[in-house]
Chain A
């Protein structure tokens, strides 16, 4: 971890990883999409709407995984003052926010034909909606202060406090009586979903993961450049004030 405390060195590492992640993303998503569109059979109960599952579930997985990244980065920033923690968290948040929104919308479009409703205030849907607002709050706090470091600190605290929502989301379908179906993949007794559906689902999940990695690398690059820019601005303002000061003493005396 300490090897990567230097942002420039971390950037070099990211640039090295990027092409591999991009290729892996294209391959896994390509295979996954063709598989679930053309080769997965229609479900005996849900018909062809089951194809929505192959974007809805991976999006939800990414929403939770990325929030965990945001929270972990925030912890490392606040507790160990690791400079990368904040950068990673800030870069990951918009991606997670997007996936949360996608999970909610695709879920709604799946719910209408299957459950007869676009929305229900059950524990799973409600807690994922809360996750969406936590993401929005995190992003907003970063921009809410004149001093960006204060915004970053406030956002980090929100991220850490909000992390309790992640296990709530995961276990909501067990702890409460929900319309949303119970877990069929990540379970103590193993998956209950048939292999013909499980494999394309896992491949889509991995594909979404590589996608998130690619986007994250670009956003980290932008964030590091932004911070360097700000430091340069500060340095330039300082230099200008110093030169003005020296001119003033020459003419003043």
Chain B
């Protein structure tokens, strides 16, 4: 076995090690991306809402 093959084989436990590490990485990335998207989305909605409120106040005057 080459060193690379040995690395991926993880001593015969590849079926457990790689899913564990992979799932951890994917889940953490998804959580990060979702949180960033959510913050930007809420900020945008807030700007839009402030715009609407300002327009409404203008219309009343």
Residues of A within 8 A of B (CB): 38, 42, 47-49, 51-52, 55-56, 59, 94-95, 98, 101-102, 105-106, 109-110, 112-113, 211, 214-215, 218-219, 221-222, 225-226, 228-229, 232-233, 235-236, 239-240, 243
Q: If the complex has contacts A51-B21, A109-B20, are A95 and B13 also in contact, measured as CB distance less than 8 A?
A: no
Q: If the complex has contacts A47-B12, A110-B20, A239-B60, are A218 and B42 also in contact, measured as CB distance less than 8 A?
A: no
Q: If the complex has contacts A47-B13, A48-B10, are A215 and B42 also in contact, measured as CB distance less than 8 A?
A: no
Contact B53 A105 (CB under 8 A): no
Partner among B16, B45, B46, B53 whose Cβ is within 8 Å of the Cβ of A52: B16
Contact B42 A236 (CB under 8 A): no
Contact B45 A225 (CB under 8 A): yes
> Interface readout for B1-45 with A: 1 if CB under 8 Å, 0 if not?
000000100111100110111011001100110011011011101
Contact A106 B24 (CB under 8 A): yes
Residues of chain B within 8 A of A112, CB atoms compared: 16
Closest to B46 in A: A225
Total interface residues on B, CB under 8 Å, equals 32
Residues of chain A within 8 A of B38, CB atoms compared: 218-219, 222
- The SS class assigned to the B binding surface is helix
Partner among B10, B23, B41 whose Cβ is within 8 Å of the Cβ of A106: B23
Contact B16 A232 (CB under 8 A): no
20 example contacts (A-B, Cβ-Cβ < 8 A) are as follows A48-B17, A49-B13, A52-B16, A56-B20, A59-B24, A109-B20, A113-B16, A214-B32, A215-B32, A218-B35, A218-B36, A221-B43, A226-B42, A229-B46, A232-B49, A232-B53, A235-B53, A236-B53, A239-B56, A240-B56
